[in-house]
Amino acid sequence: MQNRKILALGALCLLVVCIHLLTVITGSLFYLTQLTMAAYYGLVIIGLGTLMGYAGQISLGHAGFFAIGGYLAASLTTCNLVPFQGNWLLRGLDTFGLLTTAQNLAGEHVLTMEPWAACGCAVAAAALIALVIGIPVLKLKGHYLAMATLGFGTIIYRILLASPYFGEADGISEVPGFTLLPAMGTMGPIMISGDPAHRLVNYYLAWGVLILGMGLLLNLIGSRVGRALRSLHSSEEAAEAAGIDTARFKLHVFVLSAVYAAVAGVLLTHFNGGIGPSEASVMKSVRYVALVAVGGMTHLWGTLLMGVTLTFLSLRGVFGTYDDAVFGLILILVMLFAPEGILSLRLKWLIKTICSGVRS
Amino acid sequence: MSLDLFFQYLFAGITYGAIYAIVAIGFNIIYNATGIINFAQGEFVMLGGMISISLLRFMPLAYAIAAAVVITMAIGALIEILFIRWLESPSVLRMIIITIGISILLRELALHIWGESIRSLPYFYGNEVTTFALGSVHVSPQVLWVIVACAVMVSGLSVFFKGTPIGREMRACAANRTAALLCGINTRNMVTLSFMLSAGIGALAGCVMSPITYTQYDSGTSLAIKGFTVAILGGLGNSMAAVMAGILLGIIEAFSVSVVPLAFQDAIAITILLIILFVKPHGLFGSSAAARLKAF
């Protein structure tokens, strides 16, 4: 079991390298940009997949957590703090080296928060909000849970759309790159930004984060916690009777998946250099649910592969103006004909044909 | 706040509340028959408005509305037959996702047919500025149309459910599906009928509200959330309570405009929804003992 997991993760690493080589050979390196973005969305999707597939809780508000992460990171790294320079809080932040100075296009001196600190704040805020929201929300079931999380997502969307601090309908743009490692010797700085010069590094960074996230989730699922979660999905009463603190497990997974969404939001915002309110819209949340459903709820690998592939196609604009309609249709078809996910369908079909072949 | 202003807000609240109540009744009818919350309910309202606006070019207003209601009912029946009828006891999660998918499809369909432009039916009587004085308060005649439509619908439904054989069969189906089946009632047809009924009710709501609130391809979603809020507020499945709850929500929203910015108006309904879900999920007028017996 342990070996298979490492083998699968290794295969994914190999696949990532192969795709890179393939784009080099075919001279289509520009695909890497969308693949990078797809990897970040993949992070949201596997987090949600764990919540839906293993804890059995639907969330129609995950775009909200993504947006909390992205928007907080964006606003903290772009908001000019010069007018508040005398403030004790800022002086405190400065002594810890959490502030950074730069010059904007007009040549003015700008004081903003260090991306590391902003990232920490954003993810912590998302986790805290998930915790506070999760305690009452996860007591609900079925339709009520779906509507409550949908309501949460809509509130976040409305707040972002109505507050001038978050740029209203325009969102926040000109978010600086996220420098992970400063320039050393001949090597340039390693940073998350949409600059074509950093494209390759970003591609590997994004997939590295995704594979790391996947590894952590696989470990979680294989552990005692994972078994508890699966029992929770099949029957909450039975799980409780077996002595599992269902409320606590559900809450933990909810917070974990919110953190995954927030991290993806932070990193993608730095990569894109901006974020708009459409990232928080209900349609985005529904899309995440659709991708989880397509991959198969209790099948994290399927979720990952289908999620990244479909997101990549959608980002490349393959579906054109029918983008949302395609996702709606996928959602219905998968739920009608293959509620276990598309990959499971293929597998069953394959086994059936092989069996019949052997018999004849 | 002066007394005139108070009554002005009150009337606005009652108008919107009546609309929300109609949407909520649509939710309740399907919920009673199937135990499903139809997330595409708001789209029926949008479709009703849009179809009647398009038909208005070819026929007078009353016929256009009637035709729009019939067409939307047919769409509702078609959806039920295509996507829901043949499923063997699907899980709640599956049904939620399917109805969400249906709502996306309907919305995208509307986007491709009618575009993004905002449309509206003309006022049924007079025009935007026609008002009549009720004491010192000025009220648009369309407000009366909305309230009358709501009242007619509620009384019509209660007569239908209590008085007619089909209505009684539907109630039997809502109370206990297996028992109804054993009594020789075709429960599947009852479910189709409930989708038709709630689609028709939604479409009629879409028509009477269109002159006031306008219709756009995506106007269904926020209506669905508000309709659901009202359905929960009144207690899921209870149509009479939904009317009370609808008017309550409408009035709260109308008065909140004087306190909170307009941009946050939608957030108020949702906050109420969240609070009621956390505190009293069986609704203001429902009993918790009865709620425990229902499957969610």
DSSP for chain B, please give it.
Answer: --HHHHHHHHHHHHHHHHHHHHHHHHHHHHHHHHS---TTHHHHHHHHHHHHHHHTTTS-HHHHHHHHHHHHHHHHHHHIIIIITT-SS--HHHHHHHHHHHHHHHHHHHHHHH-S--B-PPPSSS-TT--EEETTEEE-HHHHHHHHHHHHHHHHHHHHHHHSHHHHHHHHHHH-HHHHHHTT--HHHHHHHHHHHHHHHHHHHHHHHHHHH-B-TTTHHHHHHHHHHHHHHH-TT-HHHHHHHHHHHHHHHHHHTTTS-GGGHHHHHHHHHHHHHHH-TT-SSS-HHHHHHS--
Q: Which residue of A has its CA nearest to B276?
A: A148
Q: How far apart (Å, rounded) are the C-alpha atoms in residues B188 and B185?
A: 9
Crossing angle, helix A246-272 and helix A62-78, to 10 degrees? Answer: 50
Burial class (CB in 10 A: 0-12, 13-18, 19+), B78: middle
Query: Count of A–B CB contacts within 8 Å?
Result: 113
Distance (Å) from the alpha carbon of A276 to chain B's nearest alpha carbon: 17
The Cα-based distances of B165 to A158, A333, B153, B162 in angstroms read: 46, 36, 18, 8
What pLDDT, in 10s, does the model give residues A296-351?
777 788 888 888 888 888 888 777 778 888 888 888 888 888 777 666 666 666 66
Q: For B85, list phi and psi in degrees, rounded to 5.
A: -55, -45
Quick one: pLDDT at residue A239? 79
Q: Does A327 touch chain B (CB under 8 A)?
A: yes
Residue B97 has its nearest CB partner, among A147, A148, A289, at A289
In chain A, which residue's Cα lies nearest the Cα of B264? A158
pLDDT at A96: 67
Put simply, the answer to whether B104 touches A159 (Cβ < 8 Å) is no
Helix, strand, or coil here: A157? helix
3-state SS assignment for residue A17: helix
Burial (CB < 10 A; 0-12, 13-18, 19+), residue A137, is buried
Closest CB to A155 among B104, B270, B281: B270
* Ranges A97-101, A104-108, B65-69, B104-108: which has the least confidence: A104-108
pLDDT(B223) > 70:
yes
Contact residues for B33 (Cβ-Cβ < 8 A; gap 6+) = B170, B173, B174, B190, B191, B193, B194
Average confidence (pLDDT) over B28-46: 86
Does residue A282 carry a pLDDT above 60?
yes
Q: State whether residue A306 is helix, strand or coil.
A: helix
Residue A189: HSE in the Cβ half-sphere, 13 Å Cα cutoff: 10
pLDDT above 80 (res B37): yes
Is the CB of residue B100 less than 8 Å away from at least one CB of chain A?
yes
**Model pLDDT, residue B286:** 66
Question: Across chain B, what does the average pLDDT equal?
Answer: 84
pLDDT band of residue A274 (cuts 50, 70, 90) is confident
Q: Which one of A58, A154, A331 has the shortest CB-CB distance to B93?
A: A58
Answer whether A290 sits within 8 Å of B83, measured CB to CB. Answer: no
Q: With an 8 Å Cβ cutoff, is A324 touching chain B?
A: yes
Q: How many CB atoms lie within 10 A of CB A235?
A: 12
What is the predicted ipTM?
0.81
Chain A residues lying within 8 Å of B27, measured CB to CB: none
Is-contact A70 A268, C-beta < 8 A? Answer: yes
A56 vs B89, higher pLDDT? A56
B292 Cβ under 8 Å from any chain A Cβ: no
Contact across the interface for A147 and B228, Cβ inside 8 Å = yes
- Enumerate the residues of chain B whose CB falls inside 8 A of the CB of residue A290: 97, 101
Q: How far is residue A244's CA from residue B231's CA, in Å, rounded to a whole number?
A: 34
The pLDDT value recorded for residue B289 is 61
| List of residues 6+ apart from A305 with CB closer than 8 A | A295, A343
Average pLDDT for residues A18-38, to the nearest whole number? 83
Dist CA A251 CA A259 (whole Å) = 12
Phi-psi region of B295 (alpha: psi -120 to 50; beta: other; left: phi over 0): beta
A333 CA: distance to closest CA in chain B (Å): 8
Cβ-based contacts of A286 with chain B (< 8 Å): 100, 104
For B263, the closest of A150, A158, A283 (CB atoms) is A158
Strands B132-134 and A178-181: unpaired
Mutate to test the interface with A, among B32, B92, B108 (most CBs of A within 10 A): B108
Q: Is the pLDDT of residue B68 over 90?
A: yes
- Higher-scoring residue by pLDDT: A187, B69: B69
In this complex, the residue of B97, B281, B296 whose CB is nearest that of residue A335 is B97
Q: How far apart are CA B61 and CA A74, in angstroms?
A: 51
Q: What is the pLDDT of residue B257?
A: 80
Chain B neighbors of A335, CB-CB under 8 A: 94, 97-98, 101
In angstroms, the CA A323 to CA A318 distance is 8
**A331 interface with B at CB cutoff 8 Å:** yes
Residue with tokens 């209790």: A298
Q: Is B82 on the interface with A (CB under 8 A)?
A: no
- CA B276/CA B288 separation, integer angstroms: 13
Tokens read off for A321: 């103006």
Cα distance between residue A44 and residue A69, in whole Å: 12
Give the integer Cα–Cα distance in Å for B65 and B204. Answer: 7
| Best of B96, B106, B257 to mutate (most A CBs within 10 Å, chain A) | B96
Whether the per-residue pLDDT at A174 is higher than 80: the answer is no
- Do the Cβ atoms of A290 and A331 come closer than 8 Å? yes
Three-state SS at A112 = strand
- Structure tokens given for B84: 């829901």
pLDDT, chain A, mean:
81
A143, A154, A162 ranked by CB distance to B92: nearest: A143
Average pLDDT over residues B96-123: 86
Q: Does B107 touch chain A (CB under 8 A)?
A: yes
Alpha helices (runs of H) in chain A, residue ranges in sequence order: 2-26, 31-49, 62-78, 88-95, 115-137, 142-162, 199-222, 224-234, 236-241, 246-272, 282-295, 300-315, 323-337, 342-359
Closest Cα in chain A, distance from residue B177 (Å) = 20
Q: Find the mean pLDDT for residues B249-278.
A: 82
Mean pLDDT computed over A127-156: 86
Residues 6+ apart with CB under 8 A from A321: B112
Which residue has better confidence, A358 or B176? B176
- Residue B296: pLDDT above 60? no
DSSP summary character for residue A298: T
Residue A23: Cβ within 10 Å count: 17
Mutation pick from A132, A135, A143, A322 vs chain B, by most beta carbons of B within 10 Å, is A143
- Chain A residues with CB inside 8 Å of B85's CB? none
- pLDDT tens digits, one per residue of B135-159: 777 778 888 888 888 888 888 888 8
The pLDDT of B217-232, averaged and rounded, is 85
N-terminal to C-terminal alpha carbon distance within chain A = 34
A327 to chain B: nearest residue by CA? B101
